[in-house]
Every structure is written in structure tokens, then in C-alpha cells.
Structure 1
Amino acid sequence: MAGREHRYKVKVIWTGNEGEGTSTYRGYSRAHQILAEGKPTIEGSADPSFRGDPERWNPEDLLVASLSACHKLWYLGLCSQMGVTVLSYEDEAEGVMVEVAGGAGQFEEVVLRPHVVVAAGSDLEKAHALHRKAHEMCFIARSVNFPVKHEAEIVPAAG
């Protein structure tokens, strides 16, 4: 039996034609916009290593952010269902991408490093276990072909 299907529609518009299109590798900007109906536009570019604008989001940033956000959303939902009260959650996620000969490359891993503050008296063991469950449930992590690890720090609130 097939599960429910969800579709996500976005539009990516290249805005980097500086007058001569892609007539030369250095002659165009990597600037683009990512749009979805009813949502703010994301100003994107390439990673600065690939002639991109360091002030704009690049696809690699967005992939790491997607993994982090998906994990967080699952974690918070599971905690709310299992009696663990999360008071704050911050993740300093990091992805490692390796280039190979010929210019291609791939991510080798992403490490999520959430710092979670839970209400005093919360079950810390359960709070850690729910990170493992969130990882198993995260749609994005289940869809990538590289390891997504998590190194959670969970601390009880003072008091």
C-alpha cells in the first residue's frame, strides 16, 4: 500500500545574466532567486568557492539547513508527545562536501549539534533517545545517500 504523496513546487530563476549570458565562465553571476507561492523569496548563489556571492544562500547551505530543520521539527513533536518539555533548541549543523577530479563532488556527512534545554525534572535519557527517533523519522535525512549524525547536548533548565 502506497503512502500519502506530498508535492513541493518551487521556482528557481537565474538572475545573473550580466549582459552576455554564459559566453564565458567568469562572465556571469551565479545569482538566482528561489520562489514558492506565498513565501518570501530566497536570494541564492553558488558557494564562494565556485564564484558565488558569500552574502547569499547556496544550495549546500540550504541542504544542511533542511536536514537541521527537519530533525528539529521531528524532535520537538516527539518530545511534546512523550512528556519532554523543550524550552530552547539551537543547532550548529555542519556538512562536509568533497570535490573529486573533474569538478563533481558529494556530501560525505552532515553532523547536527543541537543544544537543547529541557524543563527541570525532564527525563534526560528519554530526551536523548528521542533524537535517535527523530533521526529515523526525518524525511530529509531518510532521502540522502550520506550519513547524518547527531551530537546532541541536552541540559536541564536551572531550578
Structure 2
Amino acid sequence: MISKTDEHQYYFEVQLNHKEGRIGTLSAKDVTGTIEVATPPEFAGGVPDKWSPEHLFLSSLCSCLMTTFLAIAEKKRLQVCNFECSSIGQVKLYEGHLEFTTIDLFPKIFVETEADFTLANETLLKTYKHCIIANSIKSLLVHHGEVLVCKKQVA
């Protein structure tokens, strides 16, 4: 649940309930639906075909980039046809524990015309600075942003 206590201070809440084995169910009071999560199959006892904490970590970064970009684009009146983002996170043993050491981000922004490229690139750079999730992690973030022209549908 999101609550705003004062200017620029927010609280978010999720609930995890163990289901069976290494599987749990995530929910939030202010969100419809649930997400099943489990240990990834790369680790002992892992469960295939389920979202893992590692997937959700990378997903939160992509989602935050998208929502931040679209909010800034709206303020700048930048017309965006589409936004896609993929990410690859490298987990390594570091000082005796596993952690994400590097995350490569591949946002693709689709705009109406090449005339929007400069504004879209400026917006993307601002997004990197204002993404809450990106600002909250210690992993090295490597940005591979692209701005492309939307493909027109042929009638």
C-alpha cells in the first residue's frame, strides 16, 4: 500500500506468504492479483518456470525506468509510441557472498520522427538520474539506451 507522509516521503508495502517447498505468493493491498515466486533453478532446490527474486529485482529496475521516462516525457510533451526495456544482471561471488555486480539495461524508446531524437535522448539521460530503483542499488549500471522511429502500420 502506498501512503504519503509528507512531501517526497512514501511508503510501499507488499506481503509474501509461503505456499509450499520453495514457492511463495506475493501480494499487495492496493494491487489486484498475486505473483508466485520461488528460488531460481540455478540454485539448489530451485523451481523452474516461476518468477524469482532475481527476476523481480531486474523487473523493478526496467519498470522504474519506464515509468520515470514516461512521466518526464509527458512533462516535456514528448510523444512516445512505445517503450521497451530488457536487462541482464550478472551475479557473482563477491567478498564471500553472491550479489548483482553489473546490470546492463537496454531501454528502447520509440518516437514519431527523427526530430524527436534529441529530446528523447535528453529525457532518457534525466531518467537515469531520477529512477528511484536505480538510485537505490549498488550494482554497476551500464546503460545501452536507443531511440528509434516508430514503424508506421501499412493500411
Q: TM-score band, normalised by the shorter chain? A: 0.7 to 0.9
User: What SS does the aligned partner of 1:57 have?
Assistant: coil
**Inter-partner Cα distance in structure 2 for 1:64 and 1:79:** 23
TM-score by length of 2: 0.84
In structure 2, the CA distance between the partners of 1:158 and 1:4, relative to structure 1 (3 Å rule), is: closer
**Inter-partner Cα distance in structure 2 for 1:115 and 1:4:** 29
Q: Which has the higher strand share?
A: 2
Q: Which amino acid aligns with 1:96?
A: Q
- Residue equivalent to 2:3: none
CA distances 1:96-147 after superposition (whole Å, capped 9, x unpaired): 1113575x21101211111221012542122112111101101111110112
1:140 corresponds to which of 133, 140, 152: 133
- Residue equivalent to 1:23: none
Report the alpha carbon displacement of residue 149 of structure 1 after superposing the two structures with TM: 2.4
1:59 paired to 2:53:
yes
CA distances 1:50-109 after superposition (whole Å, capped 9, x unpaired): 22222111001000000011011111111122132110111121111113575x211012
**Inter-partner Cα distance in structure 1 for 2:19 and 2:55:** 19
- Residue equivalent to 1:99: 93
- Residue equivalent to 1:14: 18
The aligned runs of 1:15-54 (5 Å cut-off) are: 15-16=19-20, 29-37=21-29, 38-50=31-43, 51-54=45-48
Unaligned runs of 5+ in 1: 17-28
- Residue equivalent to 1:25: none
* Number of aligned residue pairs: 145
Unaligned runs of 5+ in 2: 1-5
CA-atom RMSD in angstroms: 1.9
Identical columns (%): 24
Any runs of at least 4 consecutive aligned residues in structure 1 with deviations exceeding 3 A, and if so which?
none
**Inter-partner Cα distance in structure 1 for 2:14 and 2:116:** 40
**Inter-partner Cα distance in structure 2 for 1:146 and 1:100:** 12
Q: Which amino acid aligns with 1:35?
A: S
TM-score by length of 1: 0.82
- Residue equivalent to 2:112: 119
Q: Is the 8 A contact 1:120 1:158 kept in 2?
A: no
Q: Who wins on radius of gyration, i.e. which is larger?
A: 1
Report the alpha carbon displacement of residue 40 of structure 1 after superposing the two structures with TM: 1.0
CA distances 1:2-58 after superposition (whole Å, capped 9, x unpaired): 853211111111222xxxxxxxxxxxx211111111431110001111222221110
